[in-house]
Amino acid sequence: MNADKRRQIFERLQKANPHPKTELEYRTPFELLIAVMLSAQATDISVNAATRHLYPVANTPEALLELGEAKLTEYIQRIGLYKTKARHVIQTCRMLVELHNSQVPQTREALEALPGVGRKTANVILNTAFGHAAMAVDTHIFRISNRIGLAPGKNVLEVEHKLMKVIPKEFILDAHHWLILHGRYICRARTPKCAECLIYDLCEYKGKDD
């Protein structure tokens, strides 16, 4: 895919959705961090359903530590891998209190040192909470990047690096959200809605309209 096509793709996505945002509900960087940790292999809908009950009770590292792992599991038990996630959340809260003055760090290294936080989660926090140029490649973005020819790669890291290189700089801060939403609702895994796609004519997907 050439540079002109890529620019047109993001111009159209921007025009259709000038101010994209995550579908996870949060008010602070810490709430976003916990929500993203909980969202691994889970839907945003299920995470939001849990945090709507959890955050009024405990939405700071200190409050979650006081709540404890056992009580936390009661709030998130409908989310996949909830026992492991509860353990990681409590461990992360302890590290935030002891090492970061209860604040979410703003460097990739410090974020990835937190239990349950990998590169994708770190990139989401850097981009969404702090406005850094970072690209969190999830299954949607990986699929789209390969399917439409935007930034083909064999693994998520390769796709991430390519996207950071080829996306025009003026679109990079919002590109993560545009691509996720496009993959979630239009360019779906099994039945992409090509007839509803606003970048159909720019797409290089060979199976269009199959």
Q: Is the pLDDT of residue 170 over 80?
A: yes
Tokens of 143: 């699929």
Determine the pLDDT at residue 99.
Answer: 97
Asked if residue 134 lies in contact with residue 123, where contact means CB atoms within 8 angstroms, the answer is yes
Mean pLDDT score of the chain, rounded to an integer?
A: 95
Q: Please list the residue range(s) of the chain that carry CATH number 1.10.340.30.
A: 29-129
Rounded mean pLDDT, 165-176? 96
Q: Rounded to two decimals, what is the model's pTM?
A: 0.92
Q: What confidence tier does 1 reach under pLDDT thresholds 50, 70, 90? A: confident
pLDDT 10s digits, 133-162: 999 999 999 999 999 999 999 999 999 999
Concerning whether 138 is annotated as a catalytic residue, the answer is yes
Backbone torsions φ then ψ of 8, nearest 5 degrees:
-60, -40
Concerning whether 120 is annotated as a catalytic residue, the answer is yes
Q: Is the pLDDT of residue 9 over 70?
A: yes
pLDDT 10s digits, 95-120: 999 999 999 999 999 999 999 999 99
Sign of the dihedral through C-alpha 122, 36, 96, 103: positive
Contacts with 40 (C-beta within 8 Å, 6 or more apart), sequence order:
80, 81, 85, 116, 121
Percentage of the chain beyond pLDDT 90 is 96
pLDDT 10s digits, 15-27: 999 999 999 999 9
| CATH number at 29-129 | 1.10.340.30
Say which of 138, 165, 208, 209 is annotated catalytic: 138
pLDDT 10s digits, 184-200: 999 999 999 999 999 99
Rounded mean pLDDT, 37-48? 95
Say which of 5, 15, 120, 208 is annotated catalytic: 120
Look at domain 3-20+134-202 and name its CATH class. mainly alpha
Q: Please list the residue range(s) of the chain that carry CATH number 1.10.1670.10.
A: 3-20+134-202
Q: Is the pLDDT of residue 210 over 60?
A: no
